[in-house]
Amino acid sequence: TPLGVMLAMSSRRRLFTVAEMELLYNISAHAGAAITNAELHKDARSKSTEMRRYFHRVARALGAALEAQDVPQLAADLAVEVMRADRCAIYRVEREGLRLHTTSRFRAASPPDALVPLQSGLTGWVARRGKPLAVENVAEDPRAASQDWLGHEGRGAYLGVPLKVGRRTVGVAEIFSRDPRRFTQDEVKLLTEFTRRARVAECLAMDSG
């Protein structure tokens, strides 16, 4: 018995490829299994575990089925949904610093910084240290002052994770919530694993040549 319908829509007229249709089919199949299994569990912890497994399977499907240049954008869009966040940005490490590569859900009036120096900002901290960074309220963290768009947003929560190929950090994926929020260790691990399984770092490295 069908549980529901999953739709994919484009803002412009186009033909979806066979690979894209197969990807949507796989995602919907995983979603149906996750929903069914989650409903069988009575406690929230088991439901959360089942949904994490679903997102990990989706991430693997993304990394395997899409062209490399399409993965970061779809991963950013899904990260907003997965993490219940308001925005997502993906930066790529370059010689000049961290260059903006992909965004999701940003307002035109408050775009993220196009280039962030490695020596400053929350994004630079994640790239330099190669470690995740969670900030409950960016208005109270002095590292956020050097990134203009964070100043425009005012209060809000930040979570950034490094994107690595081997031991080398090639980028940063970060999400932002409009209201202060304490990201849990499970959420930090979820975003880290999601981007890793979707092979976002490898796609950035290929894109940079």
pLDDT band at 44 (very low <50, low <70, confident <90, very high): very low
Residue 166's pLDDT band (cuts 50, 70, 90): very high
Superfamily of domain 74-207: GAF domain (3.30.450.40)
pLDDT score, position 93: 96
Percent of the chain, pLDDT > 90? 44
Query: What does the pLDDT average to over 172-199?
Result: 91
Q: DSSP secondary structure string, the chain?
A: ----------SS--PPPHHHHHHHHHHHHHHHHHHHHHHH--SHHHHHHHHHHHHHHHHHHHHHHS-GGGHHHHHHHHHHHHTT-SEEEEEEEETTEEEEEEEES--TTSPPPSEE-TTSHHHHHHHHHTS-EEES-GGG-GGGGG-HHHHHH-S-EEEEEEEEETTEEEEEEEEEESS-----HHHHHHHHHHHHHTTHHHHHHHHT-
Mean pLDDT estimate for the chain: 81
This prediction's pTM: 0.75
The domain limits of the chain are 1-65, 74-207
- Segment 95-105 shows an average pLDDT of 94
Q: What's the pLDDT tens digit per position in 74-85?
A: 889 888 888 889
Give pLDDT, residue 2. 57
Q: Please report the pLDDT score of residue 40 as a whole number.
A: 45
